[in-house]
Amino acid sequence: MSDNTTHFGYKTVDESVKAQKVAEVFHSVAQKYDVMNDLMSAGLHRAWKFFTIETSGAKPGDKVLDIAGGTGDLSKAFCKKVGKTGQVWLTDINSSMLGVGRDRLLDAGVATPVALCDAEKLPFPDNYFNIVSVAFGLRNMTHKDAALKEMYRVLKPGGRLLVLEFSKVWSPLKPAYDIYSFKLLPVMGKLVANDADSYQYLAESIRMHPDQETLKSMMFDAGFAKVDYHNMSAGVVALHKGIKI
């Protein structure tokens, strides 16, 4: 990649257009996002998110920022953890996804702040949040290093970053995983969401995302300490954690 280009799946595009292309993907899939998540992961995404919440250390009174929060699964769970004295912000760069998430939270009787914003330019003060989480969103960001530095900036000293993301699968499973990702996933996307191309992109974006050790190094570079990760489902996903000292 040159200084002015980046990847969009396996394609090389100008940095200035990647955000728009990603936006088009999520505008397209927003209404079927949860259904497809259940189908794609056989429901495992719920267990991955549950583990993230349960190991987050969130407690009553905490302030939590849910970046790329999509349909609001993590925000809803965090609201239960922080209680009435805490605060959870649901944010996303995509208005369609954010609208679905906001509506789902309201339907569940959860009233929490919602903001349309770019993770690379967060509209929050320094040292504000106890926890920042980003689930299945970091890989879609154009400048991941800038986004990680912003997450570091808005965390309080002692605050925790949680990055739940697809990662590098255990090598013996790779052939089967590739067949599933590139043969079956687009077909499912076509049948359920009437959009094969977006799910082809999603499969490609997973392969282009930094692996476990690379992301760990990126978090250290952004200033985080005590960075570690936990593989789930044989590395299909990994939860990275880091602390702001």
Q: Using H for helix, E for strand and C for coil, what is the string for the chain?
A: CCCCEEEECCEEEEHHHHHHHHHHHHHHHHHHHHHHHHHHHCCHHHHHHHHHHHCCCCCCCCEEEEECCCCCHHHHHHHHHHCCCCEEEEEECCHHHHHHHHHHHHHCCCCCCEEECCCCCCCCCCCCEEEEEEECCHHHCCCHHHHHHHHHHHEEEEEEEEEEEECCCCHHHHHHHHHHHHHHHHHHHHHHHCCHHHHHHHHHHHHHCCCHHHHHHHHHHCCCEEEEEEEEHHHCEEEEEEECC
Q: What is the pLDDT of residue 101?
A: 94
Of the listed ranges 27-41, 111-125, 211-225, the least confidently predicted one is 27-41
Q: For the chain, what percent of residues have pLDDT higher than 90?
A: 77
6 labelled binding-site residue: no
193 labelled binding-site residue: no
d(CA 40, CA 81): 28
Residues 191-210, mean pLDDT to the nearest whole number: 90
Q: What is the pLDDT of residue 3?
A: 63
Residues 196-207, mean pLDDT to the nearest whole number: 91
> For residue 10, what pLDDT band results from cuts at 50, 70 and 90?
confident
197 labelled binding-site residue: no
- For the stretch 81-112, pLDDT in tens is 999 999 999 999 999 999 999 999 999 999 99
Residues 123-131, mean pLDDT to the nearest whole number: 98
Q: What is the pLDDT of residue 2?
A: 47
d(CA 139, CA 161): 16
Average pLDDT across the chain, whole number: 93
Q: In which residue are the tokens 């728009």 written?
A: 20
Helix 185-193 with 33-41: angle, nearest 10 deg = 150
d(CA 65, CA 159): 11
Q: What is the pLDDT of residue 175?
A: 96
Residues 6+ apart with CB under 8 A from 237: 48, 164, 165, 166, 167, 231
119 labelled binding-site residue: yes
